[in-house]
Every structure is written in C-alpha cells, then in structure tokens.
Amino acid sequence: MRIICAILLLFYCFPIFAQDDCKIKIEILDSLLVKNKRQQALKVNVSMELCQCDDTLFIYRFNKVVHTSNFVIAYLDFNLFKNSSVGLNFIIEDVEDNKIQANNIDHISFKKHEDEIRSSYQRLFINKSNLKIKYKLLKDEKKRNKHDEGKYTVSENNRNFILYPLINHYYNLPKGEYYLYFVYSFNRDLVNKPPPSSIWDSEKPDKNRVFNGSFISNKVKLIIK
C-alpha cells in the first residue's frame, strides 16, 4: 500500500503528508471552472479519499468557504508549507504555472467601539444561489468557535462535497485562463501555540482520529470572464 501511495505522489500530483498511516487524497471533480463578473465565490465539486484509514476521521480548519492568502503562496515550497497549520486554502496559477498573489484585504477601522465589537461577531458565508458573500451575526461564542474551528467529519457517507473558494480575493484578476487548486495543512504541535489560535472543540475527539498533515489537490482550468 505504501508503494501505491508513493506512485500516486509522483505521477498524479497528489502530494500526501500525514502522521502515522492515515493519509488523504483530495480531487476536484469539475473539468472546468468559470467565474462571471457577479460571482464572489466559485462552486467546486470535490471528492476526498482516505488512504489506510478504516474509520471516521476529523479534519480541522477545513471550512467550506475557502480563503487564500499571500502567506500560503510564500510558503508554497510545499516542504515548508506542510509544517504549517493554516488549514484549507486555494491557489490560482496562470498558464505558465506562476502563482498569483491575492489582493490584500484592508482592515476596517471603526469610529464606534460597539461597531467594532459587532464586526468581531460576524462570520462570512456564501449565498449558494448567486455565489455572493453574506455575513451572519453569531453572538453565541460556541457557534463562533464551531465556525472558526472548521471541523469536518469524514466517513464513508460524506466524502463528496462542495467547496466555495472566495475568488473575490483576486478582484484585479484580468480576463483569461488560469488554474485553481486546493492546499491544506494542519499541525497539532503548532495549534496550541499562538499564533495560530487553539482549537476550541468541546468534544475533544481521540487525537488518533484527528488528521495531522498536509495535502494538495489536482489543478483545474479556471476561466475568468
């Protein structure tokens, strides 16, 4: 089985790194992605396969609404990225395999303290009908923590799902052809040391059932209209 996984690593562009014997392969099922002017996110059909795992697995920082950042691009010498703990992100490349930096998101300054507090309670979601961003006010701390920890349970029955990469992070991207793929990293040794923040999961699953490692998906052509 280890030989088979090694062959996949070399020839199918699915690098896999994980603790112990449990590994993950993630594949974008769409053959082509198209973004029009009004969309703020993409809808991407994804499949996940567990290698050498025969039970439920928990993945943290695996939010279905997917962000990107220049930090991820800077560390995408994957040998460096795999030792980080930034969760799920997506990358866009041009047709010459050059990684494109996302636009910096400006931090908003608030005139009133109560507006700043209110903003800290808001979380970003996607309207699935028009693929635009919407914000919800989550006043309950447990609900905010649950959202932020991005816990996804992988079992035999839910290995196909949809991800929504926030394409608006690239609001100056010219029309044309590109490629998109997902990257993920989670390192338990870093999670409880700031930064990044710790995981608040009250259920505290067995650590042997928590995925600890990194993976990268296949690349799919993206058309910007």
Q: Give tens-digit pLDDT for 118-163.
A: 777 788 899 999 999 998 888 888 888 888 888 888 877 668 899 9
For range 98-102, the mean pLDDT: 85
Is residue 185 within 8 Å of 82, Cβ to Cβ?
A: yes
- Say whether pLDDT at 110 is over 90: no
**Which residues are within 8 A (CB) of 45 and not within 5 positions of it... i.e. 6 or more apart?**
28, 29, 30, 160, 162
Per-residue pLDDT tens for 29-86?
A: 999 999 998 899 999 999 998 876 767 888 989 999 998 876 666 555 666 666 677 8
Radius of gyration of the chain (CA): 18
- List CB contacts of 186: < 8 A, sequence separation 6 or more: 59, 60, 61, 85, 87, 211, 212, 213, 214
Cβ pair 85, 109 in contact under 8 A: no
**Residue closest to 49 by CA, chosen among 5, 79, 113, 81:** 5
Q: 194-221, pLDDT tens digit by residue?
A: 444 456 676 777 777 788 888 999 999 9
**208 vs 104: which has the higher pLDDT:** 208
pLDDT at 99: 86
- What is the predicted pLDDT for the residue at 31? 96
pLDDT over 80 at 113, yes or no: no
Averaged pLDDT, 158-169: 89
- Which of 118, 76, 128 minimizes the C-alpha distance to 97? 76
pLDDT of residue 154: 83
Q: Which residue has the higher pLDDT, 174 or 110?
A: 174
Of the two residues 104 and 133, the one the predictor is more confident about is: 133
